[in-house]
Amino acid sequence: MQPYTAPKDKRHQAADPAPHGADQWQDHLAKLSQYGEQLYQDYRQQAGICKELASAEWRLSTRSLALTIILLVSFAGGLVLLWAGLLITFGLAIFSFSQSIWLSAVCLISLQLLCLMWLWKNIGYISSKIGFDKTAHSIKQLLNINRGE
């Protein structure tokens, strides 16, 4: 025979789900708090990485800029010496064959313009390495600006 157990009164039965629901609610709040803390830490970590990336790009850009200036000065110095000698040689050769100072001048100016175009192209290429493309992309990603990508 089973021992007698008193039936639970209705107030006691109604009180059981409420503490259980409150516990769940508190558990959900605790989890939301943990998620918020993790999100905050991840955001700070991403901001730190973005800062490191900007710093690295700054160092690379300043180095590229310094190298560009050094190369331009060196190249210009060497070009002046070499180019002056070549122009004198070509000018004298063209003048001796054609006896025309105008033809010599047009040929020398054309050679000078070709050299300048080549120089401009190389300066454009080297100076295109100066910039903060990765940092800008990282900041946009951090601030969620470019949602389409």
What is the pLDDT, as a whole number, of residue 58? Answer: 86
Comparing C-alpha atoms, which of 73, 83, 60 is closest to residue 132?
60
pLDDT tens for 110-125 read: 988 998 899 889 888 8
Q: Would you give the DSSP letter of residue 131?
A: S
Q: Would you give the DSSP letter of residue 146?
A: -
pLDDT tens for 31-60 read: 999 999 999 998 899 888 888 888 888 888
Name residue 82's amino acid: L
What three-state secondary structure class fits 128?
coil
Tokens of 140: 């946009």
Helix count and strand count (H, E) for the chain: 4, 0
What secondary structure does DSSP assign to 23-59, as a single string?
Answer: HHHHHHHHHHHHHHHHHHHHHHHHHHHHHHHHHHHHH
What is the pLDDT, as a whole number, of residue 5? Answer: 54
Q: Long-range contact list for 65-69, CB < 8 A, 24+ apart? A: 65/127, 65/130, 67/126, 68/123, 68/126, 68/127, 68/130
Per-residue confidence at 147, pLDDT binned at 50, 70, 90?
low
